[in-house]
Amino acid sequence: MSERDDKTDESVSPLPQRDGLHHASLRSDPLLLVTPIPLSEHPAAVYLTSLSSGSQRTMRWALDTIASILTDGTGDHLTLNWGQLRYRHCMLVRNLLKNRYAAVIGNKLRL
């Protein structure tokens, strides 16, 4: 582990809580782009163009869902500043999606 891993960033406050869960979506401003990025340089747009049309629709929905979670419904795959995402954001999305879809997946798999 590096020195940097041992230090905490004092300028980043803990994520606010709602319904007992931490939500980055309540702190959406730093996660939204201030100025648009050309589509040829936008990470989500470049990724989507590398997929087939059927996969593009599915992944666009997935990226929009992630952006919506992180921005309290105000962002989408083109307005989210993907470069600002950190591990804590990824874990938040993972846990929220896991909790949201656990029952559906459990029923399908008969768990």
Q: Indicate if the pLDDT at residue 26 is higher than 70.
A: no
Average pLDDT rounded to a whole number, residues 13-30: 44
- Residue 18's pLDDT band (cuts 50, 70, 90): very low
Write down how long the chain is.
111
The per-residue pLDDT for 15 is 40
Average pLDDT rounded to a whole number, residues 102-107: 60
* Dist CA 66 CA 80 (whole Å): 9
DSSP class of 14: P
Assigned token pair, 66 = 């992630």
- Considering the chain, what percentage of its residues have pLDDT values greater than 70? 65
* Dist CA 44 CA 35 (whole Å): 15
Q: Tens of pLDDT along 56-100?
A: 999 999 999 999 999 989 999 999 999 999 999 999 988 888 888
Nearest to 97 by CA among 52, 67, 57: 67
Assigned token pair, 26 = 């309540």
